[in-house]
Structure 1
Amino acid sequence: MKDNNRPVNLSRRNSLKFVAGAIGTGILAARLGADVAAPAPAIAQNDMSPDAALKQLMDGNKRFVDRKRTNPHQDLSRLTEVAKGQKPFAAILGCADSRFPSEIIFDQGFGDLFVCRVAGNVATAEEIGSLEFGTLLLGAKVLMVVGHENCGAVGATLKGAQVPGQIGSLVDSIKPAVESSKNQPGDHLENAVKANVLLQAKRLKASPVISKLIEDNKLKIVGGYYDLDTGAISIVADS
């Protein structure tokens, strides 16, 4: 398992070194920015503070829970509008679970959310790189890591299940969270899911790209826990 992960880790270190140096000189923004279509003013919706972006995200979830969805930005005019460029106000690192469709849960539409989904909502090198792009280049102001009730990936890790193929790489990424939460009172799976959210958020904050955005008050990272029964997102914080 360690041998399989070594090339990925090396690649991640090298890419982060390049990105960190590029930020200081402006090379990254200049080069990648040339490939990102300049958005029309109408879709520059992320000219807000990180706190305002988080409120907009949570307000959408409240509408979903209260069965008062407005289904914004989901018509044909919005589709053609964002074809010219994108400026999502929020980024999501969520589980690949079929019961977690971010745009529905947060009552958002085309161009609103920059979403990465992977089983166990783990922050792999590829997910981190994608979210660096979504925050640095596209300008998302809040990045939420969302775990959910009865997560299968976390549950398998908690049980110590023997898994085939590359599923083991997900388990390895989640194991530290399971270990850190095993002596906590309450539901063991829920505790492990929330600990995993905090662990993956910590890994994201270790990115020099993302940490610089946080330092400059251009980004906020928060953890979330999705209740499958009610549809509600609750904020997960360090105890």
Structure 2
Amino acid sequence: MSASTSFSPDEALAALLAGNRRFVDGKQSHPNQDADHRSALASGQHPSAVLFGCSDSRLAAEIIFDHGLGDLFVVRTAGHVSGPEVLGSIEYGVGVLGTPLVVVLGHGSCGAVSAAAKAHAEGTTPSGHVRDIVERVTPSVLSARAAGLTEVDDFVDVHVRKTVDFLVERSPLLGTEVAAGRCAVAGLSYSLAEGTVRSVGSRGPLSEH
């Protein structure tokens, strides 16, 4: 890794969870958003985490985790579906910027997961490139149903865990960093109504939070 931060994977996750508690309690500190900090970042960035989340407009990472400029390296797609561009972006965050943590962030009532569940149940296929998203989420829906699960939010949890596994297993760089204990991948699910996040699985050196 060509860059490093002062955070361990555990410390990076703890900072995110602490920020989320401030957000939920309405006690945000809005860190690292002043003009001096903005200027200091012009010469380089050292984010504490890569945040790979759903594109849903209600899932703005810096807001719900009470972080600021330069704190998070954010990658977002509908249903947090992965492809080469996503893997390359995450590998840049881990391999070049030296972030010690990757977070996969799903959320309740996810539209992409709901669409995949509906398409499978009805035997229909969405038009356009939305079909690509649905097809990438469908294996998670099938796994969830095979396990006897029926609720969309349960499907979301399965999809988050499968995404965590996919990233570690598909990216040689990420797999190496996780195996060496230098990086961890945490799966979280966000409640739209409550604003809280909860852990749904992880890979790598993380304690219970």
The answer, yes or no, to whether TM exceeds 0.5 is yes
- Structure 2 unaligned segments of length 5 or more: list them: 203-209
Deviation at 1:237, TM superposition (A): 2.3
> Residue 79 of structure 2 aligns to which amino acid in structure 1?
G
Aligned to 1:6: none
Q: Which runs of 4+ in 1 moved over 4 A?
A: 183-187
Paired with 1:87 and 1:167, the residues of 2 have a C-alpha distance of 34
Aligned to 1:165: 128
For the aligned residue pairs, the C-alpha RMSD in angstroms reads: 1.7
> Does the CA contact (< 8 Å) of 1:182 and 1:188 recur in 2?
no
User: Relative to 1, partners in 2 of residues 1:217 and 1:226: Cα closer, same or farther, differing over 3 Å?
Assistant: same
> Does the CA contact (< 8 Å) of 1:60 and 1:105 recur in 2?
yes
Paired with 1:187 and 1:91, the residues of 2 have a C-alpha distance of 31
Q: Aligned runs of 1:52-67 on 2, under 5 Å? A: 52-67=11-26
Paired with 1:113 and 1:129, the residues of 2 have a C-alpha distance of 16
Confirm whether residue 237 of structure 1 aligns to residue 196 of structure 2.
no
In the superposition, the TM-score normalised over structure 2's length comes to 0.89
> Does the CA contact (< 8 Å) of 2:105 and 2:187 recur in 1?
yes
Paired with 1:81 and 1:114, the residues of 2 have a C-alpha distance of 17
Report the 3-state secondary structure (helix = DSSP H, G, I; strand = E; otherwise coil) of the residue aligned with 1:97: coil
Report the 3-state secondary structure (helix = DSSP H, G, I; strand = E; otherwise coil) of the residue aligned with 2:161: helix
Residue number among 175, 183, 186 corresponding to 1:219 in the alignment: 183
In the superposition, the TM-score normalised over structure 1's length comes to 0.79
> Does the CA contact (< 8 Å) of 1:181 and 1:188 recur in 2?
no
Q: Aligned runs of 1:126-141 on 2, under 5 Å? A: 126-141=85-100
Paired with 1:184 and 1:73, the residues of 2 have a C-alpha distance of 44
Aligned residues between the structures: 197
> Residue 57 of structure 1 aligns to which amino acid in structure 2?
L
> Residue 228 of structure 1 aligns to which amino acid in structure 2?
L
Paired with 1:81 and 1:118, the residues of 2 have a C-alpha distance of 29
Deviations along 1:184-219, whole A, 9 cap, x unmatched?
466510111111111111110011000111112110
> Higher strand fraction: Structure 1 or Structure 2?
2
Deviations along 1:172-193, whole A, 9 cap, x unmatched?
1111100011144665101111
> Residue 102 of structure 1 aligns to which amino acid in structure 2?
A
Residue number among 39, 48, 71 corresponding to 1:112 in the alignment: 71
Q: Aligned runs of 1:1-239 on 2, under 5 Å? A: 46-160=5-119, 161-184=124-147, 188-206=151-169, 207-237=171-201
